[in-house]
Chain A
């Protein structure tokens, strides 16, 4: 192989990067510009360094009489964290039960969980809404996250991890008098650290990006997530405060992007090994 730069690769990859970065740059630049000019169709691709005040304004006051952006951010953070941690917690315990214990209907319980892989929320919109109403969970924060934390994929992943723990290790722990809960805390959880980190990234992004579910169960504006907030804003046709909408869009995409980039190593390994 020679040492000349591979220009073709740089050009193709550069174009790919531009394809992703340009729309975001355009919206970022636009957020700093005069909203009236944008509404007139004079959006410019250049930043206006004097216009960053819009970020403080939307964070504290929001746009169009909607919720302030800090409030929507707080709801999004709380929902994404609750979904990620909740899914991990109940999947760890259920996988642990299936792998480390023998009891009647063990296989049945596993299959009952596994089959839900095939039932995404989008195909059971109305009946799930009806169940939520029966439980009184419409327009409650609990309703935003609890129904989303059952997870076949996470259970499968932890089952795989726990099954790979050598029998000798379990024997040794038992000889030392460690019970099942102690083994879970001291051995099983620490050895799955990298998987938990990877899964956390994937699930945080999943939780943050929810749209259909919050749209269904939370019509109260106080429960608006930032993703819901953006769609409400761009849906107003007589919208004039485009700078505020653009700033909100940038704020909405930053947290999950930061999580993915910061934890890229674990995330990529976890995604391609565990799948989804």
Chain B
């Protein structure tokens, strides 16, 4: 990161850095530190003050079946969204990479959903899948299928997975297409000359060469599903029916902001932070310093 020629000056660089650093300290480090501190305390029995309780909040969480169920649910949700969004995107990217008429138009028509807000995509899905007035939802009910995601937890989970994945396909499509285009044509041609047919060529040559893109996207998708899907889930089901779509972020929001359990919610925040740090560390391990370079 070092360059040879630099400007001299003491005050100016500090002034240039100040806005970013001040905002970072006030809105990242201070809250993060507060979260760690609150996670180690609890309100005393009279509601008069705070007492230090060590790791009690964490112990409560990790022995609370509701929390563990929510954690497991989050893992299932994140994996399902990532796999679905990446598989559809890869299929579309492989065909968009072929030389066909109108491929510029296809690309435009496949990337615009990137711009749709998670909460807005939820609204679109309501009008398609709502059991009473959604077009598809009503059709299912009039054709002998008992469809109501507002009451059936499994269906609700399916709906929030579909709505979250729908919005993420475009992002993955952009990256897979860029990845495919960076594979040298000569490599593909050589495989073709050797007689490798479409699927075999994809499985043995193209897909392995896409590995860096796939790993990068997997991490981004898992993080997206874990955090950005808040708007989609909250708008569609609010975590319900009962708690069937309550992921960890929905739970943090509900426990802390709605139910005012500061200690428990802070402990959840700290665990989430540790999870993000772990995922980021894995990303660096596999991606080298790609994001840093």
Contacts and interface: CB of A to CB of B under 8 A. Distances in A.
B245 to A, nearest CB: 15
Interface string A1-18: 100011011101100110
Classify the secondary structure of A's interface with B. Answer: helix
A146 B24 CA distance: 11
B27 A99 contact: no
Interface string B37-81: 010000000000000000000000000000000000000000000
B21 to A, nearest CB: 6
A130 B31 contact: yes
B112 A123 contact: no
Contacts of A128: 27, 31
B266 A127 contact: yes
A43 B4 CA distance: 67
Query: Which one of A112, A123, A183 has the greatest number of beta carbons of chain B within 10 Å?
Result: A123
Contacts of B117: 208-209, 211, 227, 252-253, 256
Given A41-B132, A41-B138, A216-B257, A21 B9 contact: no
Contact of A93 (B16, B223, B273, B293): B16
Interface string B160-172: 0000001001110
Contacts of B119: 209, 211, 227-228, 230-231
A265 to B, nearest CB: 10
Query: Which one of B16, B92, B269, B276 has the greatest number of beta carbons of chain A within 10 Å?
Result: B16
A48 interface: no
A143 B260 CA distance: 21
B231 A227 contact: yes
A150 B126 contact: no
B149 interface: no
Given A12-B92, A16-B88, A122 B272 contact: yes
Contacts of B92: 12-13, 16
Given A97-B13, A119-B32, A257-B115, A90 B256 contact: no
Contacts of A161: none
A246 B123 CA distance: 8
Interface string B1-40: 1011111111011101101110111111111101100100
Nearest to A276: B220
A37 B118 CA distance: 27
B12 A124 contact: no
Contacts of A246: 127
A194 B13 CA distance: 25
B230 A21 contact: no
Contacts of B109: 17, 20-21
A23 B269 contact: no
A94 B23 CA distance: 12
B122 interface: yes
Interface stretch (B98-106, B151-159, B202-210): B98-106
A275 interface: yes
A260 B235 contact: no
A17 B88 CA distance: 12
A13 B99 CA distance: 13
B259 to A, nearest CB: 11
B123 A112 contact: no
A62 B128 CA distance: 23
Interface in A122-163: 122-131, 135, 146-147, 149-151, 155-156, 159-160, 163
Nearest to B198: A8
B257 A245 contact: no
Interface string A186-226: 00000000000000000001001101100110000000000
Contacts of A117: 280
A172 to B, nearest CB: 10
A56 interface: no
Contact of B100 (A10, A228, A231, A235): A10
A187 to B, nearest CB: 12
Nearest to B19: A90
Contact of B291 (A205, A264, A275): A275
A181 B9 CA distance: 11
A160 B293 contact: yes
A24 B31 CA distance: 39
B211 interface: no
Given A127-B34, A156-B292, A230-B120, A163 B138 contact: no
A272 B178 contact: yes
Contacts of B34: 127, 130-131
Q: Which 5 A-B pairs have the closest CB atoms?
A: A209-B117, A211-B231, A127-B31, A101-B13, A256-B115
Interface of A: 1, 5-6, 8-10, 12-13, 16-17, 19-24, 26-27, 30, 38-41, 43, 45, 89-91, 93-94, 96-103, 106, 109-110, 112-114, 116-120, 122-131, 135, 146-147, 149-151, 155-156, 159-160, 163, 167, 170-171, 174, 179-181, 183, 205, 208-209, 211-212, 215-216, 227-228, 230-231, 234-235, 242, 245-246, 249, 252-253, 256-257, 259-261, 264, 268, 271-272, 275-276
Given A17-B106, A215-B234, 19 more contacts: A5-B100, A43-B138, A97-B13, A106-B13, A112-B24, A119-B28, A119-B276, A126-B262, A150-B27, A163-B1, A209-B231, A211-B117, A211-B234, A230-B119, A234-B122, A234-B126, A246-B127, A257-B116, A275-B290
